[in-house]
Amino acid sequence: MYLSETLQTRWESVLDHPDLPKITDPYKRAVTAVILENQATEMSKASGILTEAPANVAGTGGFSG
């Protein structure tokens, strides 16, 4: 199975959502699945960055005014 087919299966609920226009062009469907996957990956990375502890917390050294 090709990567785009795997991604289309993963994102099938979005690609076939009844409130969205039907994507009939196979190329456009494959590209949309790849874009959805890329967006999910980047959002996951950004989420991890936002939840990490700050590198320099007040009272642990650094600037002492």
* Residue 7, in any domain of the structure: yes
Domain count, the chain: 1
How far is the CA of 56 from the CAs of 3, 24, 25, 64, in angstroms?
Answer: 41, 52, 51, 12
In Å, how far from its chain's centre is CA 35? 8
Question: What pTM does this model have?
Answer: 0.67
* Residue 60, in any domain of the structure: no
Residue 63 reports pLDDT greater than 80? no
pLDDT band at 2 (very low <50, low <70, confident <90, very high): confident
Which domain does 10 fall in, by range? 3-48
Chain segment 3-60, per-residue pLDDT in tens = 889 999 999 999 999 999 999 999 999 999 999 999 999 998 887 765 555 555 555 5
